[in-house]
Amino acid sequence: MNYVKACALSELEEDTPKRVELDGTPVSIVRAEGEVFAINDICSHANVSLSEGEVEDCMIECWLHGSAFDLRTGKPSGLPATRPVPVYPVKIEGDDVFVSLTQES
Ligand code: FES
């Protein structure tokens, strides 16, 4: 898997998404429940940035219509979104957060 550096671990605040662009792909990096997750930053319902939404209980909520996506699987909890958002493997090395876009999990 090809990992690219996304940000520093120390930049991340719990439950506060950070939007980054990795190889032209917008990704939201989220520290939640002691882990770091990477989820595509675009809602599967419309072209809205998920990183502008709220995070709670390992879910990121789309601010426009309220579908929440599981940070572990990308699956929506309910309508109006019906399709999952891609999530990506994360690796931490020291204070560096790496994300692999090549294999969606
Ligand atoms: S744009 Fe995200 S739920 Fe509609």
Given the CA of residue 43, which atom of ligand 1 is nearest to it? Answer: 2
User: H/E element holding 88?
Assistant: strand 87-88
What is the per-residue pLDDT for 103?
58
- Pocket test of ligand 1: the residue of 41, 47, 48 to mutate, having most ligand atoms within 8 Å of its CB, is 48
The band of 21, judged by pLDDT with boundaries at 50, 70 and 90, is very high
Angstrom distances, CA of residue 14 to CA of 3, 18, 44, 58, 66: 23, 10, 24, 11, 21
- Please compute the mean of the pLDDT values over residues 50-77 and round it to a whole number: 98
What residue ranges line ligand 1, CB within 6 angstroms?
A: 43, 45-46, 48, 62, 64-65, 67, 80-81
Distance from residue 63's CA to the centre of ligand 1 (Å): 7
pTM of this prediction? 0.95
**Share of residues in the chain with pLDDT > 70 (%):** 97
Contacts (Cβ under 8 Å, ≥6 apart) of 17: 28, 29, 30, 50, 51, 52, 53, 55, 60
